[in-house]
């Protein structure tokens, strides 16, 4: 097992010193205890030490609340300890969300320290770079590309010709964005992801071979989208493959050409969405789900993990299975399936009774 050396481990958790009162102001919480209690690092509640800030949101972790050494703990307003503990609490409506907010602010502070262009790297003379950007070593920025203010591009990234990237975006190491793709503001793309590679378009020929159909469209990613590691989003054959505002895509997802994913939709790892499918707003797609092409998923639809969707779904519809069908019916089927041995036994008993009746008839 690899152990993080202590100096490096400290870099992962250190932050500027803040008091409980200052933190409460950031998360709009109420201090219970010492408002001047100071913390300089984050820690998990089960292993936090003095000087660290932790949180309790999941009731399964309540046992650690009574043994943790954290100096300050963020808890839900409704939390009532079973026993007294001399630790400063910050009460908020949603402890998980409040802690996530603090981590985001801390990450922003860290990223703001990264500016400038590292060498070796290549930037075309016709590219337009905004202010306070960071371009990591071994990165490439193509002709007429545009990169917005405060965007961070980590090492080994490829930004193709005429690509447009908005403000405050983050491209993690090894991201590849093909020519003419467009990213909005506050977009996060994780390592190894490819945006704008060719869609899977091939025309069958009489002799059984396939002729490639040129893919001349692009990919458009709107504001506040996050895309996980090693995900691939194909460029459109004509027009655009579109990821709407606020959508969240996990790792290892395949989005095919001319797909449109609606705003605030979430897609879990290893899902695949085939060409020209339209996914509505607020849709939830579970891991390893497969969705065929040229269908639509209505707003708020839910596709459970490992489902195979072969027809369009109405808004709010929840499905499961392959082929996917109504989730409520699936649950009923599962109940019946568990009773099959008992039902078989009852059928055999009935058959015996019928047989005896016939024999005595």
Name the residues annotated as catalytic: 257
Write out the two tokens for 78. 């409704």
Q: CB under 8 Å to 144, separation ≥6 — which residues?
A: 124, 126, 127, 128, 161, 162
Q: Strands 318-320 and 325-326, how do they pair?
A: antiparallel
Contact yes or no for 147/166 (Cβ under 8 A): no
d(CA 65, CA 58): 11
Q: Return left, alpha or beta for 355; rule: phi > 0 is left, psi -120 to 50 is alpha, else beta.
A: alpha
d(CA 81, CA 4): 34
Q: CB under 8 Å to 68, separation ≥6 — which residues?
A: 45, 46, 47, 48, 54, 87
Q: CB under 8 Å to 88, separation ≥6 — which residues?
A: 20, 31, 32, 33, 34, 35, 37, 71, 72, 73
Backbone angles phi, psi at 241, to 5 degrees: -85, 130
d(CA 55, CA 53): 7
Omega prior to 120 cis, within 30 of 0: yes
d(CA 255, CA 243): 10
Q: Return left, alpha or beta for 117; rule: phi > 0 is left, psi -120 to 50 is alpha, else beta.
A: beta
| Residue closest to 241 by CA, chosen among 258, 216, 217 | 258
């Amino acid at each position: 097992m690899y152990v993080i050396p202590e100096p490096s481990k400290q870099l992962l958790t250190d932050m500027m010193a803040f008091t409980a009162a200052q933190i409460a102001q950031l998360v709009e919480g109420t201090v219970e205890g010492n408002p001047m209690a100071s913390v300089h690092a984050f820690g998990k509640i089960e292993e936090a030490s003095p000087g660290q800030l932790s949180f309790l949101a999941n009731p399964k972790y309540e046992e650690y609340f009574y043994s943790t050494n954290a100096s300050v703990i963020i808890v839900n307003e409704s939390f009532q300890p079973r026993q007294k503990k001399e630790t400063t609490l910050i009460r908020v409506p949603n402890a998980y969300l409040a802690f996530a907010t603090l981590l985001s602010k801390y990450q922003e502070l860290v990223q703001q320290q990264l500016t400038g262009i590292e060498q070796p790297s290549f930037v075309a003379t016709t590219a337009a770079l905004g202010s306070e950007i960071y371009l990591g070593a071994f990165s490439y920025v193509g002709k007429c590309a545009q990169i917005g203010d405060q965007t961070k591009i980590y090492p080994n990234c490829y930004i193709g010709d005429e690509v447009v990237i908005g403000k405050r975006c983050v491209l993690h190491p090894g991201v590849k964005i093909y020519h003419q793709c467009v990213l909005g503001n506050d977009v996060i793309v994780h390592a190894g992801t490819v945006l704008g590679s060719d869609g899977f378009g091939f025309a069958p020929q009489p002799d059984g071979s396939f002729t490639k159909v040129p893919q001349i469209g692009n990919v458009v990613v709107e504001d506040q989208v996050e895309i996980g590691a090693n995900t691939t989003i194909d460029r459109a054959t004509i027009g655009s493959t579109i990821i709407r505002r606020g959508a969240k895509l996990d790792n290892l997802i395949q989005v095919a050409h001319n797909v449109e994913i609606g705003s605030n939709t979430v897609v879990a790892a290893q899902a695949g969405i085939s060409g020209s499918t339209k996914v509505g707003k607020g849709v939830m797609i579970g891991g390893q789900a497969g969705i065929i092409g040229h269908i639509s998923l209505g707003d708020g639809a839910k596709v459970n993990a490992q489902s195979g969707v072969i027809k369009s779904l109405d808004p709010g519809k929840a499905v499961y299975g392959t082929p996917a069908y109504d989730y409520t019916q699936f649950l009923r089927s599962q109940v019946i399936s568990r009773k099959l041995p008992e039902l078989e036994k009852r059928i055999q008993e009935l058959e015996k009774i019928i047989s005896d009746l016939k024999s005595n008839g």
